């Protein structure tokens, strides 16, 4: 039996993710706020571009979303023209947006009232991971709908886990972002120190990357950081959005995350330097900037 999927949101992540589904033989219908992006996608992949959310989701067994933030989710899910009002009863709604746990719980409650299933499923791996089908996906929801959606998500993931009830995926993504913030700042300080100490920084990395200092960030970002190239990943603007979510959740649950709070301020400095769209490894530029 053929499977029909709707995909709402064709940004740098959603565009290739929807493409992996289409290339795997899933019948995919897409919608994007800018219609030209949807038309471009339909010209590249075996799927259909639709002119409204309602027409996109009306016959879909699964509805995937990947938009910007909480307010974008409200816009596409709620209201008479939104996903929840127009999806097929019994459909599984899967949201890949990095958003708050609260909005996930809100949408799940609205979905259940209309006999729909909801899974919050934020992703990690960036644009490269989306394009290569190698994302890590952290899910929150019930076991049965997760099991139904899992084979589809496997087309663009390398790791895929159900972390608990709705909201658990978003909370797990917060853990991910808190860890990354500290790692990137530590790596930035280390490389900057090596530069100021007149060391051959690449030789330093070659040596220390074989020991306890090794990390994904060191392996994949140290070279571009040394070269001052910051067009290789997740943008500073989006990281600040994510850290704001982390800080708000920490205020609710009592967690103390002082390093994440400090690094968030450092990213604010990078924005003031004009680095809104630089990738997150651009923290090192803030240290290089002479007062």
Residues 6+ apart with CB under 8 A from 260: 177, 178, 181, 182, 243, 246, 247, 250
CA distance 260 to 217: 16
CA distance 148 to 62: 9
In this structure, are residues 184 and 281 in contact, taking their beta carbons and an 8 Å threshold? yes
CA distance 55 to 49: 10
Please provide residue 193's backbone torsions phi and psi, each rounded to the nearest 5 degrees.
-60, -45
Residue among 128, 173, 136 at smallest CA distance from 16: 128
Q: 280: which DSSP letter?
A: G
193 token code pair: 């120190």
Residue among 73, 72, 33, 40 at smallest CA distance from 56: 33
CA distance 43 to 186: 43
Given 158, 171, 173, 290, the catalytic residue: 173
128 token code pair: 């490269």
Active site residue 37: no
Catalytically annotated residues: 173
């Amino acid at each position: 039996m053929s499977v029909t999927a709707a995909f709402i949101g064709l940004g740098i992540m959603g565009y290739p993710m929807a493409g992996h589904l289409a290339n795997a033989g899933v019948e995919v219908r897409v919608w994007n706020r800018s219609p030209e992006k949807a038309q471009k996608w339909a010209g590249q992949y075996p799927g259909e571009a639709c002119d409204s959310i309602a027409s996109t989701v009306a016959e879909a067994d699964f509805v995937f979303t990947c938009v910007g933030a909480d307010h974008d989710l409200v816009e596409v899910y709620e209201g008479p023209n939104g996903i929840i009002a127009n999806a097929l009863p019994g459909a599984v709604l899967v949201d890949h947006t990095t958003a708050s746990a609260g909005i996930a719980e809100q949408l799940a409650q609205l979905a259940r009232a209309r006999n729909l299933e909801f899974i919050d499923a934020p992703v990690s791996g960036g644009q490269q991971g989306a394009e290569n089908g190698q994302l890590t996906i952290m899910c929150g929801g019930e076991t049965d709908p997760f099991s139904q959606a899992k084979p589809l998500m496997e087309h663009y993931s390398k790791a895929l886990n159900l972390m608990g009830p709705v909201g658990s995926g978003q909370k797990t993504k917060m853990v991910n972002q808190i860890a990354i913030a500290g790692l990137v700042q530590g790596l930035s300080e280390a490389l900057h120190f090596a530069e100021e100490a007149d060391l051959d920084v690449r030789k330093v990395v070659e040596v220390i990357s074989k020991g306890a200092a090794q990390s994904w960030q060191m392996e994949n970002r140290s070279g571009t950081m040394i070269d001052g190239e910051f067009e290789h990943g997740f943008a500073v603007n989006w990281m600040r959005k994510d850290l704001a979510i982390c800080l708000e959740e920490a205020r609710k649950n009592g967690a103390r995350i002082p390093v994440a709070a400090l690094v968030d301020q450092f990213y604010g400095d990078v924005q003031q330097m004009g680095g809104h769209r630089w990738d997150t490894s651009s923290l090192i530029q803030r240290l290089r900037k002479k007062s």
